[in-house]
Amino acid sequence: MANTGFGIGGSVAMTHCGRLFLALALTLGAAGIIQPDTRLASALLSASLALLAYMLIAAYLVSVKSSVIAGLRVERIVPEPLTEGKAATIRLRVVNDSLVALDNTVIADEPPGLFVAEKPPRTATLIPAKGGVEIAYVVKPVIGRHEWGPVKVESLDPLGLLRATQRIGSSTTVSVQPMVPPLPRRRAAATLVYQPGGVAGTRRRGVGVEFLELREYQPGDDMRLIEWKAYARTRRLAVKVFEQEGIVRLIVVLDESPTMFQGPLGATPLEQGARLVAGLVAYSGLRGDVVRAAVIPATGRRIHYTRWLRGRRALIHANKLLAERTVWPSTAYPRAPSETIGLYRDLLRLAPRSQSAIVLVTDMGLSAEAARRFSDEVYRVARRRGTPVLVVIPRPGAVRDPLSGLEALGIARQQALVAEELQGQGVPVLHSSPSIVLRELARLVEYARLMGTWPRLG
């Protein structure tokens, strides 16, 4: 992705050296005025005037540079797609169309504050007349939607007394998708040939392509399914039973409660939960199931979701949703329990009655009250309408820094209290590391596929 623009505002200012230089010139001038020795006074005044003359010349040169900087063109090239934690090389091209070269110039990019740069994206260079320069640096992005600020260009006079500063280009919005964790190993988890209804057989009897067993003929059975070879051996009519190809309908929801953003960067519950959502969508989608991903933003009053999809399209659309709808809040204000429960109730509208299950990845805002209300106002309603609901509370990831580790431990303890409250109300909860949770979710999905119904949860 490339972003091109011109200067959007700048200034000419005196540097610290420039202020010292000006103070020296004025001091020499004052000393020359009060000096009784005529020859020495003349020398002091001449030196003061020479310094002031240079300051005027430097001011003119820097003002010319400022106008040249305002006309620079900048192009920022960001590779797509950006994936969290994966190093990405950012390239900046700055083009000077004027006849004036810019020496003593510093180009500084402003990546999003949460991104980690391997080295500061700041380079001192010469921008030639009718030419340009290109600089590159490496960043490690963080999941979500972020804003890239304009490029900052500074140019000094030869002695570094005055500085012309300009910001070039406009802000750029980038979206970073989550990293997909290793998927649990199950049969047919590789490339699949899609068949009507799904790609994996269930243990339900029906019309399919894989033979399951023989059973005794009953009136009304299709005559075409009679196994005549078995009749020749046993003198009893038997019909062939096949595995019925089945699918699982699954809604995977990430609740981006502001408390989910707490913790060490790279190991927050939000990031752990987003990876879990991507992993479950990838697993079920590649198994031929029909999947819908949904996001409840930290700020906002509505749920964003994808269409019912399968295969790699399900993962592509889920990653896009997670990348574009995840916005890191400036302050971790708590969401009111009533607002949280209202959004959870809206989830039931996304699930066809008795045909799909909901996996809700959330920490309930670390609120015991929200957990109790969820049980009373959402979970019991879902059970009455036959929609299985499973709550997943993602633990913060492991970190090496001791202080960050203590912070993650405190969050995990608060999550455990919420999990205990939910379990005490009969709500099924998974509270563990993403790899363990993903394996357990895959087991539940396989059970639903094979048996044609979801296991009793809770």
C-alpha 55, offset from chain centre: 50
Does residue 318 register a pLDDT over 90? yes
Strand partners, 252: 293, 359
Residue 40, amino acid: L
204 in a domain, yes or no? yes
The reported pLDDT for the residue numbered 243 is 53
Q: Is residue 5 part of a domain?
A: no
* Pair 60, 77 in one domain: no
Residue 316 has pLDDT above 60, yes or no: yes
pLDDT for 137-160, tens place per residue?
999 999 999 998 899 999 999 999
Domain match, 204 and 257 both: no
Say yes or no: 341 and 442 in one domain.
yes
Whether the pLDDT of residue 440 is over 60: the answer is: yes
Burial profile 271-283: b = 16 or more Cβ within 10 angstroms, e = fewer: bbbbbbbbbbbbb
Phi first, then psi, for residue 198 (nearest 5°) are 150, -175
101 in any annotated domain: yes
Task: Tell me, yes or no, whether 274 and 256 share the same domain.
Answer: yes
Q: Any idea which residue has 């009111």 for tokens?
A: 336
325/388 Cα distance (integer angstroms): 26
Q: Is pLDDT above 50 for 411?
A: yes
Stretch 307-316: mean pLDDT: 90
Model confidence pLDDT, tens digit, residues 273-291: 999 999 999 999 888 888 9
Whether 271 and 397 share a structural domain? yes
Percentage of residues of the chain with pLDDT beyond 70: 86
- Do residues 314 and 444 share a domain? yes
Residues 92 and 214 in one domain: no
Cα separation, 324 vs 177, whole angstroms: 8
Structure token pair of residue 427: 């709500």
Which residues lie below 8 Å from residue 369, measured CB to CB, with a gap of 6+? 337
Given 49, 69, 89, the domain boundary residue is 69
Q: Which of 43, 69, 95 is the last residue of a domain?
A: 69
Q: 299-327 in b/e burial notation, b at 16+ Cβ within 10 A?
A: eeeebebbeebbbeebbbbbbebbbbbbb
pTM metric for this prediction: 0.77
175 burial class (0-12, 13-18, 19+ CB within 10 angstroms)?
Answer: buried
Provide the b/e sequence for 117-131 (b: ≥16 CB within 10 Å): eeeebebeeebeeee
How many domains does the chain divide into? 4
How confident is the model at residue 398, as a pLDDT? 66
To 5 degrees, how large is the angle CA 183–CA 305–CA 267?
50
Distance (Å, rounded) from C-alpha 314 to C-alpha 329? 27
**Residue 411: inside a domain:** yes
Maximal CA-CA distance, the chain: 138
Asked if 374 and 341 sit in the same domain, the reply is: yes
Residue 22 to residues 12, 26, 217, 267, Cα–Cα distance (Å): 16, 6, 107, 52
Residue 351 placed within a domain: yes
* 306 and 159 in a common domain: no
pLDDT at residue number 300: 65
Give the residue numbers spanning the domain of 408: 249-451
Q: Is residue 184 part of a domain?
A: no
Residue spans of beta strands (DSSP E) within 169-278: 172-177, 200-206, 210-216, 238-246, 249-255
Identify whether 74 is part of a domain: yes
Would 420 be classed as within a structural domain?
yes
140 and 103 fall within a common domain: yes
| pLDDT score at 454 | 75
Mean pLDDT confidence for 147-176:
90
Higher pLDDT, residue 242 or 157: 157
* Strand ordering across the sheet containing 238-246: 200-206, 238-246, 210-216
| Cα dist from 395 to 165, 223, 308, 323, whole Å | 45, 56, 28, 21
